[in-house]
Amino acid sequence: MNSYDIQSMNIDEVNSILKEYGEKSFRAKQIFQWLHEKQSKSYDMMTNIPVGLKERLQTDYPLTQLKEVAKNEDLQDKTVKYLFELEDGQLIETVLMSYKYGYSVCISSQVGCRMGCTFCASTLNGLTRQLLPSEMLEQIYHIERQLEEPIHSVVIMGTGEPFDNYENLQRFIELISYEKGRNLSRRHITVSTCGIIEKIQRFSLDSPQVNLAISLHSPYQEQRADMMPIAKKNELHDLIQTCHEYVRQTGRRISFEYSLIHNVNDTKQHALDLADLLKGLLCHVNLIPINPVDEKEQEASDQDHVLKFQKILGNHNIISTIRRSLGQNIDAACGQLRNQYRKNL
């Protein structure tokens, strides 16, 4: 048997199963399309597949199921936060965001996270396990079935460090962008990382069309290492050099996520030194007033600080935007809803 569940397999691997069963190869395309283009929740929905084959597949390769256990909607900005229970009882979060251009879904790549960033709720209980490609896909498919329309873009920016689950991430990208399946443009996929240099280098070769976002949060190595322990092994100077090489390799612009924390990393000097750090790099800075997390005791920068920070960057030719604050009323920061749900059990 293949080590992957069938929803995590590519079409060649599905075909290998069917060959073992003595089935014709055209069945692989049919089944793959039912799983990814039509997003079937059960084999019973596959109307052009023989009953005997469906029964055998159900026995050998039961489909991945996510159970929706909570759904919070912010009526003001139309953000929806989903809490899903996996088949082993673990919980993950997914966020649906509404923009003028369409819907975007922010998915999780792990159950928990081991990166230990000081401002993030995802790390409070550490890493439990990796998500399978099917579990990443099903976050999107579940929402698309509810919307009854396709989402425009996907960001892997929820709970977890995607590059800490690299092989499953790459399989997810392969499957969701495959032309005979969901066929989502790779240019509509963004992967966010804490800045694991080795994996950024691999990513530039494996997925050059996929957008890359890097959590930065400080222009200073020492402060960044205090905020993000992964920075102790991936030093800022080396990271920025890697970013320049990434741009040369792919021709793609990098987005830097910069979470603004009151009286921590939002000063004028921070802005000036950030502009100097990024000088000459094809990039964009996404300024993010943090969603407060009770356990972290940190406050978001006020609007005045955020605007002054942005102005300084602009004066030094660094393009930046201020992320629209989404879902503060529904525990939309990574890990918040999951932790709140556990507390209430």
Measured in degrees and rounded to the nearest 5, phi and psi for residue 79 equal -80, 140
What whole-number distance in Å separates Cα of residue 201 and Cα of residue 339?
A: 33
If you write DSSP's letter for every residue of 275-329 in order, what string do you get? HHHTTT--EEEEEEEPPP-GGGT--BPPHHHHHHHHHHHHHTT--EEEPPP--GG
Residues in the chain: 345
Residues 6+ apart with CB under 8 A from 99: 152
Is 113 one of the annotated active-site residues of the chain?
Answer: no
> For the CA atoms of the chain, what is the radius of gyration?
21
What whole-number distance in Å separates Cα of residue 1 and Cα of residue 137?
A: 22
| CB 111, CB 87: distance < 8 Å | no
Residues 6+ apart with CB under 8 A from 176: 36, 137, 140, 154, 182, 184, 189
Is 93 one of the annotated active-site residues of the chain?
Answer: yes
Please choose, from the candidates 306, 219, 222, the residue with its C-alpha nearest in 3D space to the C-alpha of residue 262: 306
| 217 φψ region: left (φ > 0), alpha (ψ -120 to 50), beta (else) | left
Residues 6+ apart with CB under 8 A from 247: 253, 254, 281, 282, 283
SS3 208: coil
Would strands 127-130 and 110-112 be described as parallel, antiparallel, or unpaired?
antiparallel
Would strands 102-107 and 110-112 be described as parallel, antiparallel, or unpaired?
unpaired
Catalytic residue, candidates 93, 135, 138, 161: 93
Distance of CA 150 to the CA centre of its chain: 17
What whole-number distance in Å separates Cα of residue 1 and Cα of residue 270?
A: 54
Catalytic residue, candidates 106, 243, 283, 334: 334
Catalytic residue IDs: 93, 334
